[in-house]
Structure 1
Amino acid sequence: MGAEYVVGPMAADHAEQVLAIYRSGIDEGDATFETAAPTWEAFDAGRLPGHRFVALDGTRVLGWVAASAVSDRCVYAGVVEHSVYVHPEARGRGVAGALLRALIESTEAAGIWTVQSGVFPENAASLALHERAGFRVIGRRERVGRHHGRWRDTLLLERRSRIVG
């Protein structure tokens, strides 16, 4: 059975749906420390243009992935942090895996050797997804931030390119 969606570059036309999916992940409570979605302008400014994608079913955005630089220091030019979110109704269709594959292809083509992410330990689905995509847990940041009045840990995940570096 083939995919019922296509993965392509994220554009401003997708803004409303991308931010709605982000808000949904925020509301679920185990996706991010954020408590509100940013404006499109802030979202757009904080993500690398060549490394953000959407999964589309026609014109409907099913999910998105985007990467940000971890530092402006030149030694970290090949390291990015990413986020991946899928609409609740589109889960279980391979959308997140397809989005991660697109991100990995674009980052490797650009000479990026490390893609990382911080994931709450309670987010079992995200941890399993990342493991399938070749990420590994490289550490636990204990009580790294407060979220809804309680301290939360994150697991630092990393995928090192096999072809860059």
Structure 2
Amino acid sequence: MADITVRPMAADDAERVRAICQAGLDDGDASFETTAPTWAAFDASRLSDHRLVAVAGDGTVLGWIAVSPTSTRAVYAGVVEHSVYVDPVARGRGVARLLLDALIGSTETAGIWTIQSGVFPENVASLALHERAGFRVVGVRERVGRHHGRWRDVVLLERRSPVIN
């Protein structure tokens, strides 16, 4: 991982971010979505201060992480939902953990006290990653939505910051 760095996501990363997202969606266990959003939709729905990319030594974007607000209500200003995607060729190299650790630092610096996510139970790698990063299972939403014609459960995960009181 010494050759991998994390930096803020830029508009110039849009094509790679979308391609990595689409690869995850194509695998079938990343999201209910089936098509990666346009850059305009992505940009409008994610908080700009907490969008990061992992980059190889040659400048290739290997993965990304970003957060969305969970609510417009002021009481939930410190709660965000995140997504993390890694290029299939870079999986198993610690890219997602590097991104998640950087996101935790970024959000805690900004006073965000909870990061949450919903993960399909079949995505065991993501569940293990989140557990190692201090997330806990809050519960399982059973048959919460249909995906490719079948009902899917979603495991709700959250990480409550130990430093934001």
Place the TM-score, normalised by the shorter chain, in its bin. over 0.9
Match of 1:96 in 2: 96
What does the per-residue CA deviation read over 1:107-153, in whole Å, with 9 as the maximum and x for residues that have no partner?
00010000000000000000000001000101100111110111100
Match of 2:41 in 1: 42
Alignment of 1:12-161 (within 5 A): 12-57=11-56, 58-161=58-161
Distance 2:141 2:75 in 1: 23
What does the per-residue CA deviation read over 1:65-108, in whole Å, with 9 as the maximum and x for residues that have no partner?
00000000001000000000000100111100000011000100
What TM-score comes out, normalization by structure 2 length?
0.98
* Superposed displacement of residue 3, structure 1: 2.0
Distance 2:40 2:84 in 1: 19
Distance 2:157 2:107 in 1: 16
Distance 2:150 2:129 in 1: 26
Distance 1:55 1:102 in 2: 10
* Superposed displacement of residue 43, structure 1: 0.5
Distance 2:2 2:112 in 1: 28
* Root mean square deviation, CA, Å: 0.7
* Structure 1 gaps, min length 5: none
Distance 1:25 1:4 in 2: 23
What TM-score comes out, normalization by structure 1 length?
0.98
Distance 1:6 1:140 in 2: 34
Moved over 4 A (4+): none
* Structure 2 gaps, min length 5: none
Distance 2:63 2:157 in 1: 20
Distance 1:74 1:124 in 2: 34
Distance 1:131 1:62 in 2: 22
| Residue type of the alignment partner of 2:89 | E
| Residue type of the alignment partner of 2:68 | S
Match of 1:7 in 2: 6
* Superposed displacement of residue 51, structure 1: 0.5
Distance 1:77 1:12 in 2: 25
Q: Secondary structure at the match of 1:163?
A: coil
What does the per-residue CA deviation read over 1:25-46, in whole Å, with 9 as the maximum and x for residues that have no partner?
0000000000101110100111
Percent identical among aligned pairs is: 71
Q: Secondary structure at the match of 1:92?
A: coil
* Superposed displacement of residue 4, structure 1: 1.6
